[in-house]
Structure 1
Amino acid sequence: MPEEQQYLLPEPGKEIARLTEQDAVITHMMNNKHILAPIDLSKSGLQILDSGTADGLFLRRIQPLLTEPYTLLGYDVMQSFFPPSAPAHTVFAIHDISEPWPAELHGTCDLVHQRFTIPGGAKKATPRDMVSYLSQLVKPGGWIQLVEMDVTGAVHGPAMCDAWAATGAFLDAAGAGTDYAKNMAGWLRDEGFENVKDEHVDLDLGARAAEAEWGRRGAKVLMEAFAGVAGACKMMNIDVPGIDLENLAQRAEEEMMKQGGSYPLVFAFGQKPVA
């Protein structure tokens, strides 16, 4: 059995709970829309691959929309994240996104999905290379959808500016840089994909949210992410000049609840040509 790799953020044991709540917030604020690529999920026989799947949450979310037979493939480096038993039609396996995918998967997937995963592989491969590897999995006529946060894409108060600056420093140290999300659509075009779209979505959190309860939950989720970033910066000895990492997450959450903040996401998707 392959040795489990080190998770990019500290306290991986808490990650499934954080990722589950993060997904709940994003799902609610996007009106239950998980896939922006215009794929017909009602078509039978689909094979869908989720890279960086954690416990398969994305696959479970879309499963009620699918028509049997179908195959769901969930890949991650953290085998400990996988559920004790896989749901019907679902297979979990280990794969490191910084490495090429098995040849038998090339050209087999109707949809390849990956969200918030690129920084995890950036110590060993460039974000561009990882997108290229994923692109090989899509069958002619199939779709790929990549989702990442844009740390340069939002305007905030001072606490949120500090939090995003620390996140940018962490991403630089991890090898991903701060502009990779903006480049994903261009990389898909370079890979020959058609109908490529680059959708930027800002989720309003805290006081900006239309619904107070979801604004609070969203602020808490982002605060937990910033706490993880602060912990990673300290663990990796990343220099973040002028920013107090000890109270970074708390300051950001308080500011979100008083004046609001946003979570800027980038959805890049495209279709592999039929011929």
Structure 2
Amino acid sequence: MSVQEQQRHYPSTQYLLPADQEEALRLNGQHRIITKTFEDRLFLAPLNLMSGDKVLESAAGSGIWAIDFSADHSSKGIDIDIECIDITAQQYPEISPPNIHFSVHSITSLPPQWTNTFSYAHQRLIVLAMNDALWRSAIKELFRVLKPGGWLELVEFETKRFHYGGVGPSSEKLCSVAEKLFTAKGIVQGVSDYLRPLLAEAGFVDIDCQTRDVPVGGRRSTAEGGNGYTGEQWGEGWMGVKVPVLKGGGYGVANTSEEFDALVQASVKEWNESKEVYTTFYTIAARKPASSPELCV
């Protein structure tokens, strides 16, 4: 493993992607893709926030969603406080608006004093860190910290094999590596079918799931006026899982850093030459009942 790979920051052995400034740049670009995918909307939950309301952003990363969300509401004369949490501060901005607060917390164990605090909680793209036990703890915590009547919105992408984009020999091999890695880490797949009953079990109501397919490779990227990823952009995400793959022994496909790099580069070429590759994003909105007993957690 190269010195550069060793220097990438992985906040836990469970989370498959790094949390560093290189990853923050990728996430910022992905933020624009996701926002455009959902018709230039930062949220789909039926919100009616008022000045003074508190918002939680879980898995905040670089904070780009919170900054855009705050600016959008401020332009309408609505001043809100946003609490951004992540399990590491590595990607947090050095300067941020005074109403946005960054702290280090795990979504599975939030401060006790936050019970019934937030009018809205937003969480995006943590599926590559979550097994069943972690998801259950996270959903219970999100229910607890929301105000009665408050909304939760989860944004995730599909991790099932047929969404990966195996359109040639190299990308098929890459898909097989990911499938073995996900199995080894207990990553929950089929998140939309999994999360909806879990939310209901936790006590949420008015659960609504919307999906959007996003092209990868052969069609234009968002940066070029399209609505998807270039093969190179999609490849950057795959490069993020290189260290966990190598630590797992390569899963019989990519045993060295050089082999993994070559596999991703060849896959990028296959994606760019295909018009059939896509990924699917979900946004799942759910409401905490206006009057309900708290779960024992």
If the length of structure 2 is used for normalisation, what is the TM-score? 0.79
Pair 1:155–1:249, CA change in 2 (3 A): closer
CA distance in 2, matches of 1:18, 1:241: 25
Whichever residue aligns with residue 103 of structure 1, its letter is P
- 1:225 aligned to which of 237, 259, 279: 237
In structure 2, the residue matched to 1:185 is 196
For residues 181 and 68 of structure 2, what CA distance do their matches in structure 1 show? Answer: 30
Between the aligned residues of both structures, percent identity stands at 22
Question: 1:49: how far off?
Answer: 0.6
Cα separation, 2, equivalents of 1:49 and 1:104: 14
* SS of residue matched to 1:207: coil
2:138 is the counterpart of 1:130? yes
Q: What is the one-letter code of the residue matched to 1:235?
A: K
What 5-or-longer segments of structure 1 have no aligned partner?
none
Q: Secondary structure at the match of 1:146?
A: strand
C-alpha contact (below 8 Å) 1:150/1:182 kept by paired residues = no
Using structure 1 for the length normalisation, give the TM-score: 0.85
Call closer, same or farther: CA 1:155–1:239 in 2, change over 3 Å.
closer
Q: How far apart are the structure 2 equivalents of 1:64 and 1:246?
A: 39
Q: Distance in 1 between matches of 2:39 and 2:179?
A: 29
For residue 140 of structure 1, the aligned residue among 141, 148, 162 is: 148
Q: Please give the root-mean-square deviation of Cα atoms over the aligned residues, in Å.
A: 2.8
- Separation in structure 2 between the aligned mates of residue 212 and residue 102 of structure 1, nearest angstrom: 39
Q: What residue number does 1:256 align with?
A: 271
What is the Cα deviation at residue 63 of structure 1? 1.5
User: In the aligned structure 2, how far is the partner of 1:119 from the partner of 1:13?
Assistant: 18
Distance 1:172 1:14, change over 3 A: same
If you compute each CA radius of gyration, which structure gives the higher value, 1 or 2? 2
Distance 1:50 1:28, change over 3 A: same
Choose the corresponding residue for 1:73, options 83, 87, 103. 83
Residues 140 and 14 (structure 1), Cα distance of their counterparts in 2 relative to 1, 3 Å cut = same
The 3 A distance-change label for structure 1 pair 31 and 220 is farther
Distance 1:253 1:131 in 2: 35
Residue 109 of structure 1, CA deviation: 0.9
Which residue identity is paired with 1:203?
A: V
What is the 5 A alignment of 1:1-275? 5-6=11-12, 8-10=16-18, 12-41=20-49, 43-66=50-73, 67-97=77-107, 99-120=108-129, 122=131, 125-152=133-160, 154=163, 156=165, 157-158=167-168, 159-209=170-220, 213=224, 214=226, 217-237=229-249, 239-240=251-252, 245-260=260-275, 261-275=277-291
> Which deviates the most, 49-58 or 240-249?
240-249
Q: Distance in 2 between matches of 1:112 and 1:220?
A: 32
Q: CA deviation at 1:196?
A: 0.3
Alignment-mate amino acid for residue 106 of structure 1: T
- Hey, what's the Cα distance between the residues in 2 that align with 1:131 and 1:163? 31
Q: 1:56 touches 1:74 (CA, 8 Å); kept in 2?
A: yes
Render the CA deviation track for 1:109-147: whole Å, top value 9, x for unaligned.
Answer: 111111112433549x43222222222221111110111
Once the two structures are superposed, what CA deviation does each residue of 1:49-107 show, in whole Å capped at 9, x if it has no partner? 1111012111012112214331111001111221113313111100022x321121121
Deviations 1:7-50 (A, max 9, x none): 64357341111111111222233331121211124x32221111
Deviations 1:184-243 (A, max 9, x none): 111111112111012222111222448782467543221111122233211233525599
Task: Assess if the C-alpha contact under 8 Å between 1:216 and 1:257 holds in 2.
Answer: no
Aligned length: 269
